[in-house]
Amino acid sequence: MKKEISIILVDDHKMVREGLMSLIEKQTDMKVVAEASSGAMAIEQSKKHKADVVVMDISMPDMSGIEATKEIIKNCPKTKVLILSMHSDRRFVTEALNIGALGYVLKDSASEELLFAIRKVYGGNIFLSTKITEVVVKDYLATRSVLSTREREVLKHIAEGMATKEIASELGLSAKTVEAHRHQIMEKLQLHSIAELTKYAIREGITNA
């Protein structure tokens, strides 16, 4: 007999949970073992049930779904987390994936896509909603077109804390050229400090610093 995928539903809106429950209960290979209306409750239920998949909303009153996901993955490493959110901003998606969530689906996606996503993350695969994929690719291409390859190299080293002379030596450039690249990067990105450049580089995957 095929194993049922055990699922915990996390959303602070009861109607959303009820809708998801109704959808999942119609599936022969899935079973909802618990519900949670807050991040803290989600962590508690995850520890208790050790579910296969947690379907997690990002926006909740006590703690964000991101924070709750971190705790769940730390305490229940075998549990897979699928984010279900109304936010399509790439920053949310990137942060969710960076902390270990395996999927990100928008709330206005078709029910079939959500069910498919649950099965995919249960199998250990990454799944992004079609609309999310479009956003991520579009933003990625926009970033690539904004900065040249050399500018991305300079930005990477700046974000990693290297001084101008160190970057110049590393890339075989003059210190003056590195400074010119830094100025150009700031102009293009409309950022005005090293801290802002560093945050941008981390967010865009240019560096892990």
Give the tens place of pLDDT for each residue, 47-66: 999 999 999 999 888 899 99
Place of tokens 């080293």: 157
Q: Would you place residue 188 in the very low, low, confident or very high pLDDT band (cuts 50, 70, 90)? A: confident
Tell me which architecture the domain covering 147-203 has in CATH: Orthogonal Bundle (1.10)
CATH assignment of 5-132, among 3.40.50.300, 1.20.120.530, 1.10.1040.10, 3.40.50.2300: 3.40.50.2300
Q: Give residues with Cβ within 8 angstroms of 143, minimum separation 6.
A: 204
The full set of domain ranges for the chain reads 5-132, 147-203
The residue ranking higher by pLDDT, 125 or 191, is 125
Question: Contact 200/151 with Cβ under 8 angstroms?
Answer: no
Asked if residue 209 has pLDDT above 80, the reply is no
The CA distance from 100 to 121, in Å, is 11
The confidence score (pLDDT) of residue 204 equals 80
- What tokens were used for 207? 């560096």
The CA distance from 208 to 201, in Å, is 8
Q: Rounded to two decimals, what is the model's pTM?
A: 0.68
| Phi, psi dihedrals of residue 28, rounded to the nearest 5° | -75, -15
Widest CA span of the chain, in angstroms?
A: 69
Helices (H), 26-174: 39-49, 65-75, 90-98, 111-122, 130-146, 149-159, 164-171
SS3 content of the chain, % helix, strand, coil (to 5): 55, 15, 30
Type and span of the H or E element at 3: none
